[in-house]
């Protein structure tokens, strides 16, 4: 309950092995690994769903799966990618890295930490097990709009399982966030002032604050949905004083910050990687941090831009703030470019994925500014234009950063370096496949293809563009298989790898790979945001003097 | 260049040098963050209430009877309870076990009285959770709040059972601090709920 | 610190200015291309200015595409150029480091201010068009109601006391106010060629204001996921000259008058004359209907509409063919079957082999599910 006490510390947790030691662990590194492995398992599940969706849409008027199955597929695909992959992966990575980056022995509340993992897993499995109920899994989309998700239309248990599972995942996220912020503020090593903590840690603080502010709205919203469904409530029933738009207000009050919860951690990942492989400090460190908090703050005030086409919102405030959120995001872009400027850049696999992130995210960001404009929303909202836009942000952005993070921190986490050559092949497949999948969707959207359709009429150009997208998805799938084979082969070969194979800057590279249970035997002096870099430079300097 | 310290020694330094000093105790800090999040949970319900209220021409729906007097008495009890818990903190600081127990028991008794009044209010209300949107909101807000009071009473009772010499320092003292913050929070939120449901309507 | 260097003294790096000029030219040329290439080639059977608001929205889309394109060209160009120009060369030592520059406040100030100004301009342009769509230009408008149903659109015209399904007519060149709402779940009324859409929300009426400017037939699509047959929820929109439109509306009014007459008592095959047996109907339902329809709460979810409470469901005041729910109409629908605008279809009694007695039993069974 009260954090790490000195009594607990000397226990050689790494010496303990076996399944039970993982189940009972409170070690932040193990919990982080469990989060990331679980998240990746859900990535595979959701990825297979995406393949089925693309197969169904490859040609007009197909019926590879039934329409009801298709609705379940895209509901679970969205739910799993958002709630069980992108967000928990970030928390897993943060669990592993944040204590290391600030020189702490563990998270502030280790047992709470373990609890958050298990309740997240339980929630995820609950949602998925809806597929085994009579009537199938939830089939009303990842935002489960009422009245479609109400008891009259979605009478199956699958929808209730979905609600309960998401509630558990949201409680898990809230508690993890409390843990993370407390760790950063209370458990920093001596010398590690707030203006010296690495950008990834800063971005996690901003993310965690957003979770604390945004997720309770989802909790309340789903609670109301559950009351409406099972206890005869009327929150969303216009006939009894309720309002269907209320659900959307509360959902997007959570939902838009959620977008930034899914991207801010990966801004941090990319910042660390771009800085490390450019051999330069982060350009505009303070600007980077302030931009993260500006994004977090502004993102709380833009939710209604998801509802322009409902006609329930005609306040220009939401549009204006949605435009303005591009300013701090732009600052981050300029800072990344500034970091690369006059660096000594090595295009390793993580750096390639980070550059891929920059290009894809830029694409998604620019179209994001376009859909912040309500009139353009009147055309693009709920069309494939929008599908492409948010996949460029979350798929081209977060997913690419996740690959970058995996290649970058794999040696740190497992003491195994992934094969660089096949990593670059994987990047090529992912980058080409991704753009082939989603770029045609911009055109499909402008041409009038609505979102979430089971199939579509054979209008000129629709078939060929969709076929192209399906081909791209297949290429991405091959890239993922290459990645998995790379992990397995590299793990079997176990080529010897130094503790710090990349020449890292931040504190996690000051310990062994993988780190010991208590994280650090010795801490270098912390005089800047790059203590390991400073140490290396002073070592180099003293060598030259000799 | 200062000597790098081992993590264990470092952690020990933390515990010795900064228990409740320059940095907050992690437990207290964590509780404050938790309460921030809780505040947003209730804020979502308030938002829902005022949103639906502004959409309706008749609010609360015709025929809904609300007992202002009784709920005011309940509010008064919870307010007294929130004051009593201040004295729990004071007697903890003075390391006076008997006094602490007394004030804790007072706090709990007032909290139980509040819950009793809340239950009585529910049992005689002429509308239910499935009557209309107002009913759904009323029972959700008061129900979630009552659950919070209930959890708070369990925590206070656990504190009452654990009042010994050790409870006055270190982590345990921080735990007591967290419970007291929580109890104040439960009261402050109730003022909002009570004002919304019974005064503003 | 020894590592700190003064940036203004060391130049921007090899080839910086030529690359910048090249990217500027590329941004301008591709921007001009976006500006002059017709966007509407993307949309079937359309031309620009199909509606007055469509033209505004297209202009905005194009304008933002040009600005976005320029930013995309610059950022992508610089990222790739830096990655190549400043790459670590083979001969460079492994510990070589880049220029250790931490920040440049003046640069950071300007690259915060300039985007803010650009975005404010875009926001003001957007909000202007938004208000025109929401509130109209002030000209008196011809109002049409659009009501979303699972899974078709109903259109209601002034002076016509019944809805028209799956086909919408609008007069050419006359300001129109389309009022949209829904009776069941969320739908969205989208005419891609018009660049306009509005979600249909139960309990809420919102409007779109525009003037159709080109006669023709357009596709109306539902773009808010509304259930299993969402992708088949489409309708036809016909924009025609006022005279032709008036003729159509008059014809509809006459049909309505005929329909309102006692002709509604057409009893199919005499099935109504037979007394239905609900228990036998349940058996028939399991055999003939349950692969597509759900009737009781314990039945599995199916693709076809739920028939639970079909007679009392307020969310579905009409049957799929638009007729009001009555035993006669239900029996008629089972008799005739149904073919919608998409692949969804219900076989006729001839195809299912349901006798008049079966139909009576089924109707009785469905009526018993209140």
Q: Residue C188 falls within a domain, yes or no?
A: yes
Kind plus residue range of the DSSP H or E element containing C82: helix C52-85
Q: Lowest mean pLDDT: which of A88-102, A210-224, B44-58, B163-177?
A: B163-177
Q: Output the pLDDT for position A29.
A: 94
- Which CATH number belongs to the domain containing residue C185 in this structure? 2.60.40.420
Q: Output the pLDDT for position A326.
A: 92
Q: Residue C324 falls within a domain, yes or no?
A: yes
Instruction: Please name the residues in contact with C322: beta carbons below 8 A apart, sequence gap of 6 or more.
Output: C152, C154, C163, C165
Q: Which ipTM did the prediction report?
A: 0.91
Residues of C in contact with A161 (CB under 8 A): none
Residues of C in contact with A465 (CB under 8 A): none
* CA-to-CA dists, residue B166 to A109, B97, B162, B163, C120, angstroms: 21, 10, 9, 8, 60
Residues of C in contact with A451 (CB under 8 A): 223, 225
Q: Output the pLDDT for position A311.
A: 77
A282: which DSSP letter?
A: P
Which residue is closest to B2 within chain A, CA to CA?
A525
The percent of residues in chain A predicted with pLDDT above 90, rounded, is 75
Class of domain B25-200: mainly alpha
Higher-pLDDT residue of C319, A501? A501
User: Does the pLDDT value for residue A493 go beyond 80?
Assistant: yes
User: Does the pLDDT value for residue A12 go beyond 70?
Assistant: no
Does C101 sit within 8 Å of A239, measured CB to CB?
Answer: no
Higher-pLDDT residue of A354, A537? A354
Q: Output the pLDDT for position C1.
A: 34
Does A337 sit within 8 Å of C228, measured CB to CB?
Answer: no
Smallest Cα distance from C93 to chain A, Å: 10
Q: Output the pLDDT for position B12.
A: 47
Q: Output the pLDDT for position C317.
A: 66
Length of chain C: 370
Residues C131 and C15 in one domain: yes
pLDDT band at C48 (very low <50, low <70, confident <90, very high): low
Cα–Cα distance, B194 to B141 (Å, whole number): 10
Q: Output the pLDDT for position A130.
A: 93
- From first to last of its 201 residues, what are the pLDDT tens digits of chain B? 333 444 445 544 444 444 434 688 899 999 999 999 999 999 999 999 999 999 888 888 888 889 999 999 999 999 999 999 999 999 988 888 899 999 999 999 999 999 999 999 999 998 999 999 999 999 999 999 999 999 999 999 999 998 876 667 777 888 899 999 999 999 999 999 999 999 998
Cα–Cα distance, A496 to A493 (Å, whole number): 9
B30 touches chain A (CB under 8 A): yes
Q: How many CB pairs under 8 A join A and C?
A: 304
Q: Residue C1 falls within a domain, yes or no?
A: no
Buried b (16+ CB within 10 A) or exposed e, C200-235: bbbbbebbbbbbbbbbeebbbbbbbbbbbbbbbbbb
- Mark which of C135, C156, C186 sits at the end of a domain: C135
Q: Output the pLDDT for position C365.
A: 81
Average pLDDT, chain A: 91
C370 touches chain A (CB under 8 A): no
Smallest Cα distance from A224 to chain B, Å: 8
Does A174 sit within 8 Å of B26, measured CB to CB?
Answer: no
Among A426, A434, A425, A391, which residue's Cα sits nearest to residue A86? A391
| Partner A, chain B 47-106, Cβ-Cβ below 8 Å | 47-48, 51-52, 55-56, 59, 61
Cα–Cα distance, C268 to A105 (Å, whole number): 81
Q: Output the pLDDT for position B167.
A: 65
User: Does the pLDDT value for residue A457 go beyond 70?
Assistant: yes
Subunit partners of chain C (3 or more CB pairs within 8 A): A
pLDDT band at C42 (very low <50, low <70, confident <90, very high): low
Q: DSSP for A54-99?
A: HHHHSSTT--SS-HHHHHHHHHHHHHIIIIIIIHHHHHHHHHHHHH
Q: Lowest mean pLDDT: which of A208-217, A307-316, B34-43?
A: A307-316
A404-455: per-residue pLDDT in tens?
A: 999 999 999 999 999 999 999 999 999 999 999 999 999 999 888 999 999 9
Q: Output the pLDDT for position B28.
A: 92
The percent of residues in chain C predicted with pLDDT above 70, rounded, is 82
* CA-to-CA dists, residue C248 to A520, C237, C254, angstroms: 83, 13, 10
β-pair partners for C156:
C145
Q: What share of chain A is helix, strand, coil (3-state, %, to 5)?
A: 70, 0, 30
Residues C128 and C11 in one domain: yes
For residue B166 the two structure tokens come to 């050790």
Residues C165 and C225 in one domain: yes
Q: Output the pLDDT for position C270.
A: 47
Among C221, C224, C217, which residue's Cα sits nearest to residue C201? C224
Which residue is closest to B11 within chain A, CA to CA?
A6
Q: Is C139 exposed, middle or buried (0-12, 13-18, 19+ CB in 10 A)?
A: exposed
Residues of B in contact with A521 (CB under 8 A): 6-7
Smallest Cα distance from A319 to chain C, Å: 7
Which of A185, A215, A518 is nearest residue B8 as measured by Cβ atoms?
Answer: A518
Among A211, A219, A218, which residue's Cα sits nearest to residue A248? A218
Residue spans per domain, chain A: 26-545
Q: Which CATH architecture has domain A26-545?
A: Up-down Bundle (1.20)
| Partner A, chain B 169-198, Cβ-Cβ below 8 Å | 171, 174-175
For residue C170 the two structure tokens come to 């609008």
Residues of B in contact with A13 (CB under 8 A): none
Average pLDDT rounded to a whole number, residues C135-145? 81
Cα–Cα distance, B121 to B133 (Å, whole number): 18
Residues of A in contact with B178 (CB under 8 A): none
User: Does the pLDDT value for residue C47 go beyond 90?
Assistant: no
Residues C51 and C121 in one domain: yes
Does A245 sit within 8 Å of C204, measured CB to CB?
Answer: yes
Q: Lowest mean pLDDT: which of A86-95, C19-28, C139-148?
A: C139-148
| Partner A, chain B 104-133, Cβ-Cβ below 8 Å | 129-133
Residues A384, C93 contacting (CB under 8 angstroms): no
Average pLDDT rounded to a whole number, residues A156-167? 95
DSSP 3-state of C165 = strand
Smallest Cα distance from B184 to chain A, Å: 20
B136 touches chain A (CB under 8 A): yes
Q: Output the pLDDT for position C43.
A: 59
Subunit partners of chain A (3 or more CB pairs within 8 A): B, C
User: Does the pLDDT value for residue C264 go beyond 70?
Assistant: no
Instruction: Among A9, A213, A222, A233, pick the best mutation site for testing chain B contact (most B Cβ within 10 A).
Output: A233
Residues C191, C237 contacting (CB under 8 angstroms): yes
- Mark which of C83, C110, C135 sits at the end of a domain: C135
Residues of A in contact with B131 (CB under 8 A): 234, 240
Which residue is closest to A518 within chain B, CA to CA?
B7
- Which CATH number belongs to the domain containing residue C69 in this structure? 1.10.287.90
Cα–Cα distance, B90 to B176 (Å, whole number): 12
Residue spans per domain, chain B: 25-200
C217 touches chain A (CB under 8 A): no
Average pLDDT rounded to a whole number, residues A60-89? 95
For residue C193 the two structure tokens come to 């060629």
Placement of tokens 């009044």 in the chain: B117
Smallest Cα distance from A28 to chain C, Å: 32
Residues A471, A414 contacting (CB under 8 angstroms): no
Which of A355, A367, A453 is nearest residue C83 as measured by Cβ atoms?
Answer: A355
Residues of A in contact with B52 (CB under 8 A): 235, 241-243, 246
pLDDT band at A315 (very low <50, low <70, confident <90, very high): confident
Cα–Cα distance, A252 to A237 (Å, whole number): 19
Buried b (16+ CB within 10 A) or exposed e, A296-326: bbbbbbbbbbbbbbbbbbbebebbbbbbbbb
Does B33 sit within 8 Å of A182, measured CB to CB?
Answer: yes
A334: which DSSP letter?
A: H
Residues of A in contact with B174 (CB under 8 A): 2
- Mark which of C135, C150, C175 sits at the end of a domain: C135
Crossing angle of helices A28-57 and A400-414, in 10° steps, is 150
A508: which DSSP letter?
A: G
Residues of A in contact with B17 (CB under 8 A): none
B6: which DSSP letter?
A: P
Q: Output the pLDDT for position A1.
A: 36
CA dihedral defined by A79, A80, A85, A88, rounded to 10 degrees?
Answer: 60
| Structural domain that includes position C331 | 266-367
For residue A192 the two structure tokens come to 């590690």
Cα–Cα distance, A15 to B187 (Å, whole number): 48
Does B132 sit within 8 Å of A6, measured CB to CB?
Answer: no
Length of chain B: 201
Kind of pairing between the strands at C187-191 and C167-171: unpaired
Instruction: Please name the residues in contact with A545: beta carbons below 8 A apart, sequence gap of 6 or more.
Output: none
pLDDT band at A4 (very low <50, low <70, confident <90, very high): very low
Residues A160, A226 contacting (CB under 8 angstroms): yes
């Amino acid at each position: 309950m009260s954090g790490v006490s000195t009594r607990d510390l000397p226990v050689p947790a790494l010496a303990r092995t076996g399944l039970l030691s993982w189940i009972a662990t409170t070690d932040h590194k193990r919990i982080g690994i469990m989060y990331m492995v679980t998240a990746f398992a859900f990535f595979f599940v959701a990825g297979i769903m995406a393949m089925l969706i693309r197969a169904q849409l490859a040609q007009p008027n197909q019926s590879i799966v039934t329409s009801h199955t298709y609705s379940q597929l895209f509901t679970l695909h969205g739910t799993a990618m958002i709630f069980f992959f992108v967000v928990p992966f970030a928390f897993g990575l943060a669990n592993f890295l944040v204590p290391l980056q600030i020189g702490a022995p563990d998270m502030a509340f280790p047992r709470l930490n373990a609890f958050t993992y298990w309740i997240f897993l339980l929630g995820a499995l609950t949602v998925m097990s809806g597929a085994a109920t009579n009537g199938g899994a939830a089939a009303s989309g990842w935002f489960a709009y009422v009245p479609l998700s109400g008891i009259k239309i979605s009478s199956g248990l699958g929808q209730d399982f979905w609600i309960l599972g998401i509630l558990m995942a949201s409680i898990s996220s809230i508690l993890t966030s409390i843990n993370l912020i407390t760790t950063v503020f209370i458990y920093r090593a001596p010398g590690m002032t707030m203006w010296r903590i690495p950008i990834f840690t800063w971005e996690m603080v901003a993310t965690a604050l957003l979770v604390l502010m945004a997720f309770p709205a989802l909790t309340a919203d789903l609670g109301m949905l559950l009351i409406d469904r099972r206890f005869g409530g009327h929150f969303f029933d216009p006939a009894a004083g309720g309002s269907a738009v209320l659900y959307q207000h509360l959902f997007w009050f959570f939902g838009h910050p959620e977008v930034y919860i899914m991207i801010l951690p990966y801004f941090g990942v990319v910042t660390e990687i771009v800085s490390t492989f450019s051999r330069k400090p982060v350009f505009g460190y303070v600007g980077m941090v302030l931009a993260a908090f500006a994004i977090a703050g502004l993102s709380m005030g833009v939710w209604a831009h998801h509802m322009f086409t409902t006609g329930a919102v005609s306040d220009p405030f939401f549009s204006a703030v949605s435009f303005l959120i591009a300013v701090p995001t732009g600052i981050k872009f300029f800072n990344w470019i500034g970091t690369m400027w006059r660096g000594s850049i090595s295009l390793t696999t993580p750096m390639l994925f980070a550059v891929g992130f920059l290009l894809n995210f830029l694409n998604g960001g620019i179209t994001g500014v376009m859909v912040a404009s309500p009139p353009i929303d009147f055309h693009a909202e709920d069309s494939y234009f929008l599908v492409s836009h948010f996949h460029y942000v979350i798929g081209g952005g977060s997913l690419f950063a996740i690959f970058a993070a995996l290649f970058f921190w794999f040696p740190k986490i497992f003491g195994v370096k992934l094969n660089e050559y096949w990593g670059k092949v994987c990047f090529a497949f992912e980058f080409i496949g991704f753009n082939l999948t989603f770029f045609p969707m911009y055109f499909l959207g402008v041409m009038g293809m609505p979102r979430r359709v089971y199939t579509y009429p054979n209008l000129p150009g629709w078939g060929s563009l969709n076929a192209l997208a399906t081909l791209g998805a297949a290429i991405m799938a091959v890239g993922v298989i290459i990645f998995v084979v790379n992990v397995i082969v590299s793990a079997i070969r176990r080529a010897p790898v130094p503790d710090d194979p990349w020449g890292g800057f931040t504190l996690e590279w000051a310990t062994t790979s993988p780190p010991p249970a208590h994280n650090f035997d010795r801490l270098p002096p912390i005089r800047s945001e790059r203590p390991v870099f400073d140490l290396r430079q002073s070592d180099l300097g003293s060598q030259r003097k000799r | 260049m200062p000597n790098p310290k081992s993590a264990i020694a470092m952690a020990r330094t933390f515990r010795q040098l900064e228990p409740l000093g320059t940095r907050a105790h992690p437990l207290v800090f964590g509780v404050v963050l938790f309460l921030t999040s809780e505040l947003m949970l209730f804020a979502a319900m308030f938002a829902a209430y005022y949103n639906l209220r502004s959409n309706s021409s008749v609010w609360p729906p015709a025929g809904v009877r609300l007992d202002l007097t009784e709920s005011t008495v309940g509010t008064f009890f919870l307010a007294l309870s929130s004051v009593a818990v201040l004295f729990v903190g004071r007697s903890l600081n003075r390391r006076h076990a008997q006094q602490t127990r007394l004030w804790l028991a007072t706090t709990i008794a007032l909290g139980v009285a509040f819950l009793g009044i809340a239950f009585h209010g529910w049992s005689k209300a002429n509308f239910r959770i499935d009557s209309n949107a107002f009913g759904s909101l009323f029972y959700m807000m008061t129900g979630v709040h009552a659950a919070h009071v209930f959890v708070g009473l369990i925590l206070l009772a656990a504190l009452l059972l654990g009042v010994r010499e050790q409870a006055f320092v270190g982590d345990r003292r921080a735990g007591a601090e967290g419970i007291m913050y929580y109890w104040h929070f439960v009261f402050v939120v109730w003022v909002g709920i009570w004002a919304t449901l019974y005064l503003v309507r | 610190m020894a590592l700190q260097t003064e940036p203004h003294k060391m130049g921007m790096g090899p080839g910086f200015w030529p690359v910048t000029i090249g990217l500027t030219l590329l941004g301008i040329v591709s921007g001009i291309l976006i500006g002059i290439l017709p966007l509407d080639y993307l949309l079937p059977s359309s031309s620009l200015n199909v509606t007055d608001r469509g033209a505004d929205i297209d202009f905005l889309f194009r304008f933002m595409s040009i600005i976005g394109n320029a930013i995309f060209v610059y950022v992508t160009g610089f990222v790739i150029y830096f990655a190549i120009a400043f790459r670590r060369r083979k001969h460079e030592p492994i510990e070589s480091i880049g220029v250790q520059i931490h920040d440049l406040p003046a640069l950071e100030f300007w690259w915060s201010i300039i985007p803010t100004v650009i975005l404010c301009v875009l926001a003001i342009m957007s909000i202007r068009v938004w208000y025109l769509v929401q509130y109209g230009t002030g000209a008196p408008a011809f109002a049409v109601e659009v009501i979303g149903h699972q899974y078709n659109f109903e259109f209601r015209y002034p002076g016509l006391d019944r809805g028209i399904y799956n086909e919408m007519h609008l007069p050419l060149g006359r300001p129109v106010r389309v009022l949209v709402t829904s009776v069941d779940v969320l739908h969205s009324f989208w005419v891609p060629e018009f660049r306009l859409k509005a979600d249909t929300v139960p309990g809420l009426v919102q409007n779109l204001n525009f003037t159709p400017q080109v006669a023709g037939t357009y596709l109306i699509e539902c773009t808010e996921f509304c259930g299993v047959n969402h992708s088949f929820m489409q309708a036809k929109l016909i924009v025609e000259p006022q005279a032709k439109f008036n003729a159509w509306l008059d014809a509809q009014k006459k049909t309505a008058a005929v329909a309102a007459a006692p002709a509604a008592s057409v009893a199919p095959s005499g099935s109504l004359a037979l007394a239905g047996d609900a228990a036998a109907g349940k058996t028939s339902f399991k055999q003939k209907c349950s692969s597509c329809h759900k009737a009781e709460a314990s039945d599995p979810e199916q693709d076809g509409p739920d028939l639970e409470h079909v007679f009392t469901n307020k969310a579905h005041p009409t049957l799929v063919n638009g007729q009001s729910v009555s035993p006669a109409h239900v029996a008629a629908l089972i008799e005739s079957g149904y073919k919608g605008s998409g692949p969804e279809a219900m076989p006729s009694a001839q195809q299912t082999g349901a006798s008049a007695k079966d139909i009576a039993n089924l109707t009785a069974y469905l009526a018993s599910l209140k």
